[in-house]
Chain A
Amino acid sequence: MTVLCLVETDAHGIRDSSLPALAVARALADSADSADSADSAGEHLAAAWVGVDAVVDGGSLALAGVDRGCAIDLGATAGYAPAAWARGLAGLATAGVGDGFGPVSAVVAAATDRGNEVLAHLGAITGLPMAANCVSASRIAPGRCQLVRQRWAGSLLEDAVLESPVALLTVATDAVAAQQAGEPGSASSDRTDTPASMAMSGPVPVPVPVLRYEPALTGGDLLVQAAESADRSAGVSLATARVVVGGGRGVGGPDGFTMLEELADLLGGVLGVSRVVTSQGWRPHRQQVGQTGTKISPELYLACGISGAIQHMAGCQGAKTIIAINTDPDAPMVAKADYAVIGDLHQVIPALIEALKQRGYR
């Protein structure tokens, strides 16, 4: 049996959001050990990605315990096409990922917009149930999985049982510790079903066989495709920023964000805002942090004048350290932060900017 995990890639390799999905997929595969005595060594783990030219970090694959890579070949289709991606996964789930790997028992993906969408298409194509936003999954019997998943923006956890011949799961990107990424390597997919040595400089030089799979698409599968979209800026992105300076209603108006942007620049970070700020039209929607905005995972999140609604916390709970600056000591953000400054941000931020400038930051 094999657990198949869809990994999203970019120009640098596997996206960070896919690493927790790989971790949960590996745990699910290992749990088959106790659930099925006939499979005492647990299940295999295969990683699937779209595009034969995709840059795949061999170190991350090896450290995540991947036994098999699967490059889905969609031919000339360059952009993201959700139904076509799902058709590729459906084909792999039906045909298997190679001799000796057995049938596919689960398909796992990150609970990103794309991961949730692709697995929803996969569920519709196959008629199988799907569970979204899982934080853990284990096999309790053949065809039965015990799940814990996030509900209501992560404010509640649901214990659930999924009964399905192939379990379809997406994994909350901020609730699971990702496997440590290895050094960059490469996984070749230029030969069909042939072991390809990964030219890795990392600590675990394991050869991972890579299957090149070309699904049979229907006309409708390519009806919806994403147009290529260039990054808005060549600088730091909100999703990957090391430091995010957040502003909420307490900023008071559009002019107040000038000082927050200056502080973000000094810290080498970017500006993020709460929903009320975008709803008021003070800042563009693309800067929104939260359940319906961007989910961030910086080293430091400096939340200024943000009350800390559940929907906002759903987007920032991946931050390693949260500092709240707020006039209200009883604000939820103050309670949930690691550190707090009680005071008016219009006094604290200018003083902080001045202190940074005195240290030579420009």
Chain B
Amino acid sequence: MPVRVAHLLGRPCVTGIKRLEVVAGSDGNPDRIIAGREYADAEETFDLPLPAVVSVKEGINLPRYPSLPGRLRAKRASIDVVQLGPRPPDGLVKQRLRVPATSGARSESLGSGAEAVPALMRLFDDLGVLR
């Protein structure tokens, strides 16, 4: 959705970012953003002129929850309702949702506490993870 909105607005866009830095221009006003996200085991960085569209991933910040006075003010706020114009039918149609089949098998117990270490070592050998 963010990409489609960006195209409709004619703005640059980057999605799934986990770092965002606003950069001021020569007049001191926000001018650009530096956005970063994980790629493989590195971070790729994007430099976008404002205004821009970004979508963020969980972990980019800690949510700031509204205060009680803020919530009370929000209840009195007016909400504009915008009517959508005609649009073509969706090309992607959901038929049903279902829970993936599982094997139903419980995990195999290797024991309790430090007494399970010999079983863990044998399992490491069997799996071939020790080199």
Residues of A within 8 A of B (CB): 10, 15, 79-80, 82, 113-114, 116-117, 120-121, 123-125, 128-131, 151, 154-164, 220, 223-227, 229-233, 237-240, 242-243, 267-268, 275, 278-279, 285-286, 288, 291-294, 299-300, 321, 323-324, 334-344, 347-348, 350-352, 355-356, 359, 361
List A contacts of B124 (CB < 8 A): 267, 300
Question: Number of B interface residues, CB 8 Å?
Answer: 62
Contact of B91 among A151, A163, A334, A341 (CB under 8 A): A163
CA distance A341 to B112 in the complex (A): 6
CA distance A268 to B128 in the complex (A): 12
Select the stretch in B21-29, B66-74, B77-85, B95-103 that faces chain A.
Answer: B95-103
CB < 8 Å neighbour of A129 from B7, B18, B90: B90
Report if B86 contacts A (CB, 8 A): no
Given A229-B42, A351-B114, A351-B117, A293-B95 contact (CB < 8 Å): no
Interchain CA distance A296-B14 in the complex, whole Å: 23
Task: Assess the A278–B12 pair: CB atoms within 8 A.
Answer: no
- Asked whether A341 lies within 8 Å of B45 as measured between CB atoms, the reply is no
Q: Are A342 and B109 in contact (CB under 8 A)?
A: yes
Contact string against A for B residues 10-53, beta-carbon threshold 8 Å, 1 for contact and 0 otherwise:
10111110100000000000000000011111111111110000
Query: In the complex where A359-B121, A361-B130 touch, is A336 in contact with B107 (Cβ < 8 A)?
Result: yes
- Chain A residues, CB < 8 A from B62: 279
Tell me if A239 and B40 are in contact (CB < 8 A): yes
Chain B interface secondary structure, helix, strand, loop or mixed? mixed
Whether A232 contacts B41 by the Cβ 8 Å rule is yes
Which residues from chain B sit less than 8 Å from chain A, CB to CB? 2-4, 6-8, 10, 12-16, 18, 37-49, 57-59, 62, 90-100, 106-114, 116-118, 120-121, 123-124, 127-131
The answer for the CA separation of A285 and B129 in the assembled complex, in Å, is 27
**Which one, B14, B16, B94, B129, contacts A242 given CB within 8 A?**
B129
12 CB-based A-B contacts, threshold 8 Å:
A124-B8, A156-B99, A220-B12, A223-B12, A223-B49, A224-B14, A224-B46, A294-B38, A323-B120, A340-B107, A347-B113, A351-B117
B12–A275 contact, CB under 8 A? no
The answer to whether B41 and A224 have CB atoms under 8 Å apart is no
Complex contact A275–B58 (CB within 8 A): yes
Residues A224 and B43 in contact in the complex (CB < 8 Å), given A120-B3, A339-B123: no
